[in-house]
Copies of this chain bind each other. A is one copy, B any other.
Amino acid sequence: MELNDLPRKGGEWLLGAGPESDIVISSRVRLARNVDGFAFHTRLSAEQQTRLERHLRRAVLDAKVVGNPIYINLNETAGVDRLFLVERHLISKEHSLGEGDRAVIFDRDETVSIMLLEEDHIRLQVLRSGLQLWDTWEKATQADDRLESFLDYSFSPQYGYLTACPTNLGTGMRASVMFHLPALQMSRQMDKVLHAVEKMRMVVRGLYGEGSQAYGDFFQISNQVTLGLTEEEIVERLSAVVPKILEYERNMREVLMKNDRALFEDRVWRARGILATARSINSEEAMSHLSSVRMGINLGILPEVGLGALNELFILTLPAHIQKLAGRELETAERDQKRAEFIRERLALN
């Protein structure tokens, strides 16, 4: 299966390229769509779901929304492979845990991915490296337009796109930016920032969406409101929040470098030392040290390691990735050893 080619590289969105890539990991737009003639997902019988899955698959492939597409039916996919897709941000956790025929279709760069029969019939996602919200949105809209010419979307003149959950009504759009905010986290300023962000009707989540913790000091900020705004207004509002967060983080980095330089340097150097030598490391600890190293490189404290290689490791060292890399299921202790080995090999820090 093509999945086996992926564990040694990340999607294009992990490149560490694009504007503000010292702090902004990625920009993302996702659209929720449903099609006429079928009930919402939860109301479908297994047979109806299978029929709809085929219908949607054909439309996506015929519309050529995704160039050189990889199609994966999750109902025929092992648990570790489904988790692998979650770790790569190609599907949601909910989608991996769903039932019956459901699928994901994505391109080899992993820029566009389309989940079939997640909460909605269609969840179209575009994910790009760095701060490129407008560009990301444009790509999503183009894909959506193309798909719409092959499918009858459920649309109400009053409410806009109809979605399984009313929080997605209207545009059905969520735009989000993934930030790396180690200095704010380290100085315990995140709560303040989160509070300010929530006042602007934005939602803050961890690396893996709802309910996921801020592992590795990653924070995803996205719009709360989908209804009563145009897609452009959503992108505009989110775009307006971003510079403030960049400024908070940059200021805090300066403050730390000025007031606690020794402590700060010690932290990033030790993180590097541990990653370079550990023989066993769990993914949470690995993330935390990778985060420190990432900041250390961005601040010129640590010698250069490609930002792309580093970004990738946040994903490639997750449990399913480590098991795909090994080519078999591993116990926790084995995973921790394999992870340490892979990090040493990848970063070649010694």
A44 contacts partner chain B, Cβ-Cβ < 8 Å: no
Partner of A279, one of B266, B337, B350: B266
Partner of A280, one of B266, B273, B276, B278: B266
Q: Are B277 and A340 in contact (CB under 8 A)?
A: no
| Chain A positions 271 through 299: 1 when the CB is less than 8 Å from some CB of chain B, otherwise 0 | 01111111111000000000000000000
Q: Which residues of B contact A278 (CB under 8 A)?
A: 266, 269-270, 273
A265 to chain B, nearest CB (A): 4
What does DSSP make chain A's interface, helix, strand, loop or mixed?
Answer: helix
A201 to chain B, nearest CB (A): 42
A82 to chain B, nearest CB (A): 28
A333 contacts partner chain B, Cβ-Cβ < 8 Å: yes
Which residue of the partner chain B has the closest CB to A280?
B266
A97 contacts partner chain B, Cβ-Cβ < 8 Å: no
Copies of this chain, whole number = 2
A78 contacts partner chain B, Cβ-Cβ < 8 Å: no
A262 contacts partner chain B, Cβ-Cβ < 8 Å: yes
Q: Which residues of B contact A272 (CB under 8 A)?
A: 277
Q: How far is the CA of A276 from the CA of B269 in the complex (A)?
A: 9
A263 contacts partner chain B, Cβ-Cβ < 8 Å: yes
Q: Which residues of B contact A274 (CB under 8 A)?
A: 270, 273-274
Residues of A153-179 contacting chain B, CB below 8 A: none
A290 to chain B, nearest CB (A): 15
A136 to chain B, nearest CB (A): 38
Q: Which residues of B contact A263 (CB under 8 A)?
A: 280
A235 to chain B, nearest CB (A): 42
Q: Are B265 and A269 in contact (CB under 8 A)?
A: no
Most buried by B among A262, A281, A333, A337: A262
Q: Are A269 and B279 in contact (CB under 8 A)?
A: yes
Q: Which residues of B contact A262 (CB under 8 A)?
A: 279-280, 333, 337
Given A262-B337, A273-B273, 11 other A-B contacts at CB below 8 A?
Answer: A262-B280, A266-B278, A266-B340, A269-B278, A269-B279, A270-B273, A270-B277, A272-B277, A273-B275, A274-B274, A350-B350
A-B contact pairs, 12 of them (CB 8 A): A262-B279, A262-B280, A262-B333, A269-B277, A269-B279, A270-B273, A270-B274, A270-B277, A273-B275, A274-B274, A276-B276, A276-B277
**Minimum-distance CB pairs A-B, first 4:** A273-B277, A273-B273, A266-B279, A269-B277
